[in-house]
Structure 1
Amino acid sequence: MTSRAMTRGIAAGAATTLTLGVLAAFGAGVAGAAPGSITWDDGSSRFTRTVSNTTPSVGDTVTVTTKFDRTSWVDEFIYNVKDRHPSCLTYVPGSAKMGGSPTNTDEVKADEGNGTGYVRASWGVTSWVVQNRPGFHASPTFSVDYKVGPSCARGTALATGMDYGGSLGSGNYGTKGPSITMAKTGTTTTLAPVTDARVGVPSTLTATVTGGAPGDTIEFRDAATTIGHAPLDAGGTATLAWTPTIRGSHALAAYFADTAFATASQSTPVTVQVAEQNITSTIALTPVTGAQVGRASTVTATVSPTAAGGTVELRDGTTALATLPVGADGKVAYQWVPAAAGAHTLTATFSGRDGVTGSTTTGQITVAEAPASSTDSTTTLNPVGGATVGKATPLTAKVDPADAGGTVTFKNGGTVIGTAPVGADGTATTEWTPATAGQSTVTAEYSGNGTVNASSDQESVIVAPADGGTGGTGSLDGFGSSS
């Protein structure tokens, strides 16, 4: 019985038997792990193939076994086995075994580059024998492990099978089974909370999906109305700019549509309160006349609509002059002492406040040279001690000549603390309540007056935290200078 045809088909009248569990293998169900087996006869050869889990998930390891039996007394030697599998399954290196023994690496070839998935093992002529006669019975089993990949089609029976070559011929059963059916991946969708939404102002909607794939589409809805669509990125997140047109309560949700690989899901609705549209502000600079080098000129900016809140930053070209809080009358005022003659561009920028947008404006000013008969001044800022967050700290500056008049503007960095007149004794005082602990730079800027030029001085101050600590002083190029 050694001269069999080299290609063996299923013999006429051969019995094919499905064991329990194979119904799941053919798509009857995909819930949980469902092993499946199939047994068939071809002539006097009997084969039993078993798949450990016919309804796997992505990342699972599936073991496929083929058992060889004989129904006659004629022995058959197995030369090679080719286990066929869906190409989305990946062979686990070193897992191929025959008769429970690992197959040598050089005896196994996996997925030999022809676009179909299979693992082929081959042995010598007498390596494995199938026997069924009194006193002699051998049923070798070939097994191999596969890792399930994400590209497997879902809800479709994926064929498995095997081919083999032996001393009595060969058999080709490439789609015999059992088949594998993968369920779609379950998904969850969440929508992040949305805060500070306002009519006419874009808000970012962010949805996160687990179980989706990059490029899958998310639909955003406001109740039953579609707002827009956005694709998932590599991290499973989709974002959309939403500009509400109606104030009040909105119920937003994100929807992930069913795909070939994943099931649909939707987020829990998120209630968003949309405020009225921001009011557009304007800011204007009062014209400045008679500006001279070394002399203070009052720069006034007015914000409309009028109300307290927000700040105005003043700049001379690219140089920051001061940042001032807007008063209830919508105005800020600053004593500006030009350092150079010629054309200057002053810029006033309003930060905006709750419900009101920011704005900016510029003004052109011509600064004259300082008078030839002018007198230089010296300003000295007294050391600042005991500065503590939330505690009022006195600031005192001394101007020389003492009878110069004018004003002193005190600053913390670029932010104006306050402005005080210079008394008859040449001193000007105000109070500073620090809001932040750490190092601050306090500056006293004398405005100049009449024929007396402006000057300034500054101190580096260590502000202690509100719950205790020691304030301190430190000179940071403290100076009294004429300008």
Structure 2
Amino acid sequence: YDGATKLGDTTVTQGSITIAAKALAVGTHSLTLKYLGNGSYTASQGSVSVTVVKASSSVSGTAADITWGNAGSVTVTVTPSAATGTVELFDGATKLGEGNLTSGTTLIAIPSRALAVGTHALTLKYLGDGSHSSSQGTMSVTVVKASSSVSGTAADITWGNAGSVSVTVTPSAATGKVELYDGATKLGEGTLTGGATSIAVAARALAVGDHSLTLKYVGDGSYNASQGTVKVVVLKAPTTVSAPNVTLQWAKASSVSITVAPPAGGTVELYDGSTKLGEATLRGDGTARIALPAKSLEVGTHSLTLKYLGSGSYLPSQSTVTVTVTKGRSKVEVSVPKSVDAGDRAKIKATVDSAAGDATGPVEILVKQVGGSFKKELTRKVGDGTVVVKIRLPRSGKYVVKVKYLGDVHTLGDHVSTRLRVS
């Protein structure tokens, strides 16, 4: 008997009594033995001390890989399944969590980021209960790097200027570097802050056009590397074309000195209305010279058009230059006889020499007697650069001969005078 509770009985010949499992709680019990007697012997009673100790236990666990940044869990099993109570989970001396057993199992949550990336040997501690002793075991939990994604945006870049690419890596907790490539050529890199960075693109690192550049996030201790693309457009640079105004005389050649800024390669053309006067290839400093042949422009003021045709990196441009063509100079010479007899004709020859060599137009000739009343005026048109007249001089004396060339559309006028003696 355990108190008033009968645990079992047996005949004397058997000599032992079996106590059923779990009939006694853990601990030391003073049990009563009762001999009921028989026809020859009287009944008697005694006691016996019985100690029930806790049953042994074992604890184990399993866990799927945990992605960094996510929570995880450990599935715990305690044997025997009748064990109750609490199981605790430790990473070294750090307690990660605990769970209460139900039918010998429990689930212990692992908070996100409680474990660094890598493989961890964690300790499971079953605390025991009234019937089962405590136990301890180890298990392996692997935390793998989290995936990442990288993207970027960029404003259009004008050729000759620097630009930049704004980069975003998701999740924003990612750290480390992002590199920017054009094919196999590395253009630059940036260090992430809050999941973002800016990568500079050097001036002229990319040709004019559309470029699909590669962004490479190199990863860090918690995040895997990733790769993406970003579109960068490089636009042709604007230009200006200019030239100082030009003044030249009719029948003389000249040129127009042209400058394209910024210095660009390619061709410049010069137009008078729709008529192309010439073209030239720009030198390395962005300058060129287009010849103006003699007589290519009429006398007057001309607003000529300069056209830069552009290149692979520069936009075309257009402007005007003023070219003024002035009349050419002329020189008049006159020849007369040394002396003429009164009543004879005097041959007067005027020669007009012009820069163009093709002077036309009228020549006025005045012959006047000095101190006398005789006066003769004639107008003749230049032919082959000369005018010849014969004038009868009726009286003896001194005469003044004045020759005036009035000019033409291309040539300025001139004048000269001489004296003639009539005997």
Q: TM-score range by the shorter chain?
A: 0.3 to 0.5
Specify the structure having the higher radius of gyration (Cα).
2
The structure with the largest strand share of the pair is 2
TM score, norm. by length of structure 2: 0.38
